[in-house]
Structure formats: C-alpha cells, structure tokens
C-alpha cells in the first residue's frame, strides 16, 4: 500500500472518530507539477489528499493561524523533516501546544517518498537529533562558496543588486512559519522602523532585519525562497545564517521543544568575536 493511501486511511479514521477536527495536507495544484495546501474537515473529502515528491511546502505555518487551535481540538498535518523542526520551534516559543498536533511525517527517498515513524513531536525527538548530527546545511553550496570568496564590497554589491528587485510584497514573510507576529516590524509606522517604499535603503533594511529575526530559527524549508515573485535567492542568506548559528553557537534550529532561542540565551563559552 502506498504511503499516500496509508495516510489517507489514517486521516479518514482520525476525522471519523473525532480525534482531529482538520487535516492540513496537499492536493493537486493549477499545473501537473504543482501541489497546493488543502484543509480537510470530513472523511468524505479525504480522497483529495495527494502525497508525492512534489509536496514540498512546509505546512506548519497554518497551525499558528489565529484561533485554529484555540478550541483545544487536535489538527493533523503533513510535514517533512523541516516542518517537524518548525513545530519544535513554535512549541518552544509558546505559539502552539504540540499535544494538539498529529504529524503525518514524510521525507524524500530518491524519486519517491517514505513515511516517518511517529505521530507527535515528542516521538520525532530522536529523528530530529539525528538530523542535527548530519545537518543538510552545508558549507559546500557552490553559490555560498562563491560569495565567501568575494570581498566585502563585492558581496555588498551582489546583495544590493538582488535586493533592488524587492517589491515589498511580503510574500516571504507570509509564507514563513517562523514569521508569526500579529504585527510585523515593517507594519509599524509610529515609529516607522523600516521604510515601506521599495527603494534601496528600505529594501536592505527589510531583508537584513528579516534575516536577523530568522537567525537560529530558520529551518531551511525554502517557503520564502519559493514565494518570492522576483526570485531573490533568500535561501542563501538563510543557509549562511544556519551555518553560522551551528558553527558559532552549536545551535541547530528546532532541535527540541525546549530549545532556547540562540539570540536570547547566553553561555559563558559563547564566541565573542564581535567584541574583540
């Protein structure tokens, strides 16, 4: 039996016996190679669920949608490993109760996918630890390597060119499970921290501030990168920040539901290269 069928059967069972009120998963998109999120609330709709290697979006952000979990009923969600790490961060930051989440875990395996053992965040603890021991974040990304070899001025010019394309649509923010603030810093106008016009200074402010807010929290799901309508390679910033958090602070984002945020905690042996 395929994983898609197994998970459909499980979803039917959970919805029929009332164990969950909703299943957040994937269904066909507007073109054959696309998948889009779907919200299934009855057993009769379950056959709309699709699960294959085209299901790449991190769906965990929907769980922090206002009032979705406020009635304390459970929700099931399809998650890749990055999504499971997101659940840990959202739980550590008190944005959701992990006991209300039933996880349908899956990951790519060649051209196909395989199911992950476990149904809730706690049961995936060992799996996430194994990810941290063999992180996908790699210093060997060819574009990052190219950027690392540039002088500071050349790198600045590279990002200036990229950020000049930003139209301040905030799709990156909307797509990111970690960008859950009800009122984003960019929406404040008294005082106005970030200029909202899409010009060079404002674009730099927005993208750099967002990168800092995601430092040590980004799980590299790629939602922001895929959402950007002008193809700014946001993954490069996120990946570099993840490598930095790992190398400087031994911090792997989303390791557990009790992990302290890297920028809000202090260890005596933390690197202080920024002071020296």
Contact indicator for 64, 90 with CB cutoff of 8 Å: yes
CB of 14 or CB of 223, closer to ligand SF4: 223
53/78 Cα distance (integer angstroms): 13
Query: Least distance from C-beta 77 to ligand SF4, angstroms?
Result: 15
C-beta of 49 vs 214, nearer to ligand SF4? 214
| C-beta closer to ligand SF4: residue 21 or 37 | 37
- Could you say which residues in the range 197-236 bind ligand SF4, by CB under 6 A? 207, 214, 218-224, 227-230, 232
35 bridge partner residues: 28
Helices (H), 150-270: 152-163, 171-175, 200-214, 223-227, 234-249
Instruction: Decide if residue 181 touches ligand SF4 (CB under 6 A).
Output: no
The b-or-e profile of 21-60 (16+ CB within 10 A means b, else e) is bbbbbbbeeeeeeebebbebeebebbeebbbeeebebbbb
Tally of helices (H runs) and strands (E runs) in the chain: 9, 5
* Nearer to ligand SF4 among residue 88 and residue 223 (C-beta): 223
Q: Which residues contact 252 (CB under 8 A, 6 or more apart)?
A: 131, 132, 135, 245, 246
Identified binder of ligand SF4 from the candidate list 238, 240, 245, 262, rule CB under 6 A: 238
Q: How many residues bind ligand SF4 (CB under 6 A)?
A: 27
Which member of 178, 194, 215, 245 binds ligand SF4 (CB under 6 A)? 178
Q: Report the largest interatomic distance among the alpha carbons of the chain, rounded to a whole angstrom.
A: 63
Which of residues 22 and 242 has its CB atom nearest to ligand SF4 in the complex? 242
When asked if residue 20 is in the footprint of ligand SF4 (CB under 6 A), the reply is: no
Distance CA 146, CA 94 (A): 38
Binders in 55-84 for ligand SF4, by CB under 6 A: 58
Tokens 């920028």 correspond to: 263
- Out of 172, 236, 245, 262, the only residue in the binding site for ligand SF4 (CB under 6 A) is 172
Q: Does 176 bind ligand SF4 (CB under 6 A)?
A: yes
Nearer to ligand SF4, 40 or 215 (CB): 215
CA atoms within 13 A on the CB side of 147: 16
**Judged by CB under 6 A, does residue 40 bind ligand SF4?**
no
Q: Which residues in this chain contact ligand SF4 in the complex, by CB under 6 A?
A: 58, 166-172, 175-178, 207, 214, 218-224, 227-230, 232, 238
């Amino acid at each position: 039996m395929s994983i898609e069928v197994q998970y459909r059967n499980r979803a039917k069972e959970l919805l029929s016996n009332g164990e969950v009120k909703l299943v957040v998963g994937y269904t066909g998109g507007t073109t054959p190679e696309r998948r889009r999120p779907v919200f299934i609330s009855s057993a009769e709709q379950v056959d709309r669920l699709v699960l294959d290697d085209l299901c790449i979006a991190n769906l965990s952000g929907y769980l922090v949608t206002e009032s979705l979990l406020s009635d304390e009923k459970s929700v099931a969600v399809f998650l890749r490993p990055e999504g499971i790490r997101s659940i840990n961060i959202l739980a550590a930051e008190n944005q959701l109760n992990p006991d209300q989440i039933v996880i349908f875990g899956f990951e790519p395996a060649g051209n196909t996918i395989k199911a992950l053992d476990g149904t809730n965040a706690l049961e995936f603890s060992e799996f996430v630890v194994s990810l941290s021991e063999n992180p996908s974040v790699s210093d060997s990304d060819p574009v990052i390597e190219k950027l690392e070899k540039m002088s500071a001025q050349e790198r600045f010019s590279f990002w200036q060119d990229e950020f000049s394309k930003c139209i301040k649509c905030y799709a990156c923010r909307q797509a990111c499970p970690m960008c859950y603030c009800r009122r984003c810093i960019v929406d404040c106008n008294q005082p106005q921290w970030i200029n909202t016009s899409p010009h060079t200074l404002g674009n730099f402010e927005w993208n750099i501030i967002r990168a800092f807010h995601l430092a040590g929290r980004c799980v590299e799901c790629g939602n922001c990168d895929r959402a950007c309508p002008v193809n700014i390679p946001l993954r490069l910033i996120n990946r570099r920040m993840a490598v930095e958090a790992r190398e400087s602070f031994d911090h792997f984002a989303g390791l557990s539901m009790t992990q302290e945020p890297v920028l809000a905690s202090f260890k005596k042996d933390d690197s202080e290269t920024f002071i020296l």
